[in-house]
Amino acid sequence: MRQRIPKLSDPAHTHEAGFSLLELLMVVAILTVVLGVVVRGAVELQARSATEVAKVDLTQQSRQFMDQVVKDLHHAGYPSVRMYDQATSTANPALYGQGLISISSNAIVFEGDVDGSGNVSVVFVQLNPLNGPCPCILQRGSVYKQAYLAGNMPQYYTQVDNVMNLNPFSAILNDGTTTELPCTIATGGCPDGNSMANVKAVGLALNVRTGNPSMEDGKFSTITMSLEAKINN
C-alpha cells in the first residue's frame, strides 16, 4: 500500500501575522497622548523652576542690600566729633562723621567711616524716582566727606530693582516708636518736635517684585522684608 505524502501549504496562501491599520492608529494616538502629558509636565516643571529661581534671586538681592545698609548705618557717626578737641574738629570737619544727617520716607543721608579706610564718607540711599510711580529702584551713592565739602557729589549705583513701596525708611526713637518724617539736622529735628539725637535706629521695609511675570500663572512674584538698624547718632 502506497503511503500518502501530505501536500505542503501554498506559500501564497499562508497567513502572515501583523498590525492592522486600526491598531497602528490606536498606538500612534496613545503615544501622542503620553508624549503630550510628558511635554506638558516638563514645561510646567520648567516654569515652576524659573519662578523659584527668580524668587531666590530677588530675596538674595534684597538681603544683600539690607546687609549693606545695616553695615553702613552701624558705622554712621564714627569717628565722632567728641574724639577731637574743638579747635581740631572746627578746622577739619571732614575728620568726623555726624551720623544721621537726614531721613525721609524715601531717602536717608548719613556720615561715617563706612569702608574702614579712615576717611569719613557721606552716604546717600534713596528711592528713584523719589515719589514714584513704582516699580522703583533703590540706589546708593557715597563720596568722601572732604570731597563732598569741596562740592563733589556721589555716583549712584542701583541696589534693588522693582521696589513697590514708596516708604521704605522710618526713624525709630529710643522708646521704639517712630517719629514723623522728614527729619534733618538742618531744620533741627523732626516735624513733631523730636530731635535727631532721639533717633536711635532706622527702619527699612521692602516690598519687591520680580522683573517678569511667572511663566506658570502669568503673575508677578513678590517678597517682603523688614529690619531695624541701630545707629550712633
Distance between CA atoms of residues 34 and 168, nearest Å: 50
Residue 83: phi and psi, rounded to 5, are -80, -5
pLDDT score of 169:
97
In the three-class reduction of DSSP (H, G, I as helix; E, B as strand; rest coil), residue 92 is classed as coil
- Within a domain: 112: yes
How much is the CA Rg of the chain, to the nearest whole Å? 35
- Within a domain: 10: no
- Within a domain: 70: yes
Contact 45, 209 (CB under 8 A): no
Total tally of structural domains belonging to the chain: 1
- Our measurement of the distance from residue 19's CA atom to the centroid of its chain's CA atoms, rounded to an integer in Å, reads 60
pLDDT score of 233:
67
Q: Residue 7 pLDDT more than 60?
A: no
- Within a domain: 159: yes
- Within a domain: 81: yes
In the three-class reduction of DSSP (H, G, I as helix; E, B as strand; rest coil), residue 25 is classed as helix
Higher confidence at residue 37 or residue 2? 37
Percent of the chain with pLDDT over 70: 92
- Within a domain: 11: no
Q: What does the pLDDT look like over 131-176, one tens digit per residue? A: 989 999 999 999 999 999 999 999 999 999 999 999 999 999 999 9
Determine how many CB atoms are found less than 10 A away from the CB of residue 218: 8
3-state SS of 142-197? Answer: EEEHHHHHCCCCCEEEEEEEEECCCCCEEEEECCCCECCCCEECCCCECCCCCCHH
- Within a domain: 9: no
Task: Please list the alpha-helical segments (H only) found in the chain.
Answer: 21-74, 86-91, 145-149
**Which secondary structure element, helix H or strand E, spans residue 105, and what is its range?**
none
**Residue 208, Cβ density class (10 Å: 0-12 exposed, 13-18 middle, ≥19 buried):** buried
Query: Cα–Cα distances in Å, from 78 out to 13, 33, 69, 98, 106?
Result: 104, 69, 15, 8, 24
Distance between CA atoms of residues 59 and 159, nearest Å: 12
Q: Give just the sign of the alpha carbon dihedral 54, 56, 57, 61.
A: positive
**pLDDT band of 51, cuts 50, 70, 90:** confident
- Within a domain: 183: yes
**Residue 145, Cβ density class (10 Å: 0-12 exposed, 13-18 middle, ≥19 buried):** buried
Q: Which domain holds residue 202?
A: 50-230
Tell me the whole-structure pTM to 2 decimals.
0.79
